Amino acid sequence: MNRHGIYPILYAFWGSDGRLDRGAMARQVEYCIDNGAHGIAVLGLVTEVHKMDVNERLHLVEMVGELIAGRVPYAVTVAEPSVSGQVAFARAAAASGADWVILQPPPIKGMSQADLIRFFGTVADAVHIDVAVQNNPVNLDVSLSVEGLVALNASHPNIRILKGEGWSVDIARSIRESGGAFEVFGGHGGIEFPALLSSGGAGLIPAPDFLAPQVAIYNLWRDGREEEAIEIHRRLLPAIVFMSRSVPGMLCYGKRLFARQAGIEIGTEREPSLVPTDFGLAQLDAFEADIRRAVAPAEQRAAE
C-alpha cells in the first residue's frame, strides 16, 4: 500500500457523562472524509491519550474503526510502555480495522539506541500489519538517529513508515540515507510542510484544524503547482505557530478552531484543561478567516 497525503489525527470529544461522545466523534470523522483526508489517525497528543486509561483508548480505537468503516486508511498510535503491551494493543488495533500502527518509544530516559531498535523490532515482528515508528526528538524522551532508523528497517522490513517530527533537514537526511525505504509523514502541525514535501515526504499527520487548506497544499504540490501551495502555507503559518506553542494550548484553542468548522459543540472537557480567554477566542476569529481565504479560488486570493 502506498500511504500518502493528509492523515488528520482526531481530537477527543467528551460527553456530559465524562465519556467519549460518539456523536461528536462521528461528526469529526465525516468532516475529515468530506474534506479530502487521505486517511485518519488516532491517539496522538491531541487525542488526549495522557488523560485516558488503556480501556478508554481501546474503546476509542474500536469506535473510530467502526465510524470509518474502511472508507479511508486508518492508523493507530501505540504507546504502551512494554513490548507485550504494544503487541497486544497493536493486534487489537488491527482487529478494529487499523491498516497500520505508529509505535512510540517507551518513556524511559537514557534508553540506548540498540535497546530501542530491539523494542520496536520485537513488536513489529509480532504483528501482521505495517508499522511506523514515531521519531520525535522534541517531545519524546528517546529517539533514533538516521543510522538507527536505517538499521531498524533493514532488520524489520514491515517497519516502512516514519512519523518524523524533528527538523526538516534531519527528515530529508533520513529519506536520502535510507534509500527511500520509509514513507515519511511529518508532524508538528505542518509547520514545515513545504520543506517536508520538497524532501520527498509522503504526507502529514496533523491535528484537523487546517485540514482543507493542507489537503489543498498537498494536492497542489503533487500537481506541480508549488508556488500556489507555498502561498497557502504562508497564510496559515501564523495560526499553525499559535497552535504549536503547547499541548494544553492546542487542546484548548485548536480543538475549538476545528469544532467551529465541523459544527461540533464543545461541552464537557476532561480535566486538567485550559479555560479559553476572550483574547484567545478572538485569535480564532482571525484564524477562521485565514482558513477561508486559504481555500478560496486562486482568482479570489489574487484579487485580495
What's the number of CA atoms in the CB half-sphere (13 Å) around residue 95? Answer: 8
Predicted local confidence at residue 1, as pLDDT: 62
Q: Which residue is it, cell 513489529?
A: 124
Q: Which residue is it, cell 493528509?
A: 6
Per-residue b or e along 90-124, where b marks 16 or more CB atoms closer than 10 Å to that residue's CB: bbbbbebbbbbbbbbbbeeeeeebeebbebbbebb
Predicted local confidence at residue 298, as pLDDT: 58
- pTM for the structure as a whole: 0.93
Predicted local confidence at residue 227, as pLDDT: 96
The predicted-structure confidence for 33-72, as pLDDT tens digits, reads as follows 999 999 999 999 999 999 999 999 999 999 999 999 999 9
Domain hosting residue 290, numbered range: 5-303
User: C-alpha angle with apex 67: 71 to 99, nearest 5 degrees?
Assistant: 55
Where is pLDDT greater, at 7 or 303?
Answer: 7
Predicted local confidence at residue 267, as pLDDT: 84
Average pLDDT over residues 244-253: 94
Predicted local confidence at residue 23, as pLDDT: 97
DSSP for 174-224 reads HHHHTTT-SEEEE-GGGTTHHHHHHTT--EE---GGGHHHHHHHHHHHHTT
Where is pLDDT greater, at 49 or 176?
Answer: 49
Predicted local confidence at residue 296, as pLDDT: 75
Average pLDDT over residues 164-177: 83
Average pLDDT over residues 265-281: 94
Question: Nine-digit cell at 89?
Answer: 494493543
CATH code of the domain in which 242 resides? 3.20.20.70
Using pLDDT thresholds of 50, 70 and 90, give the confidence band for residue 170: confident
Using pLDDT thresholds of 50, 70 and 90, give the confidence band for residue 137: low
Predicted local confidence at residue 139, as pLDDT: 60
DSSP for 96-113 reads TT-SEEEEPPPS-TT--H
pLDDT over 90 (residue 208): yes
Give how many domains the chain has, as a whole number: 1
Per-residue b or e along 21-59, where b marks 16 or more CB atoms closer than 10 Å to that residue's CB: beebbebbbebbbebbbbbbbbbbbbbbbeebeeebbbb
Number of H helices and number of E strands within the chain? 13, 8
pLDDT over 90 (residue 103): yes
Predicted local confidence at residue 102, as pLDDT: 97
